[in-house]
Amino acid sequence: MIIFWKSVAGGLVAVVLMWFAILVVNGWREYSMAAKYAREHGGSLSAVAGGVGYLVGMPSTVLLVTTAFGAGFYLTTRWVYYSYIHSLPH
């Protein structure tokens, strides 16, 4: 039973890492668009408009986060299982 909870923890770590990557990419894209707008229209870049609320409902974000959880769950299960098998006396 402990392997399940370790695998869930691995999946959650993968979700957090994927969400961080999504936020970084999205923030970079928003900043680039806002900087381009400021250059084209003159003036300074005082704030980047937008937020992360709309990201939650996007199909691509849901797909990436779900895939990250599955991959993290699988890899953690495999790692825990094989480390347990190799720790048994032969």
Token pair, residue 87, equals 């720790």
Q: Is the pLDDT of residue 49 over 60?
A: no
Residue identified by tokens 């990201």 is 55
Token pair, residue 1, equals 């039973």
Separation between Cα atoms, residue 48 and residue 27, nearest integer Å: 9
| Tens digits of residue pLDDT in 61-81 | 999 999 999 999 999 999 999
Token pair, residue 13, equals 């770590």
- What value does the mean pLDDT take over residues 38-62? 73
Separation between Cα atoms, residue 43 and residue 35, nearest integer Å: 10
Quick one: which of 11, 28, 2 has its CA closest to 74?
A: 11
Provide CB contacts within 8 A for 79, sequence distance 6+: 10
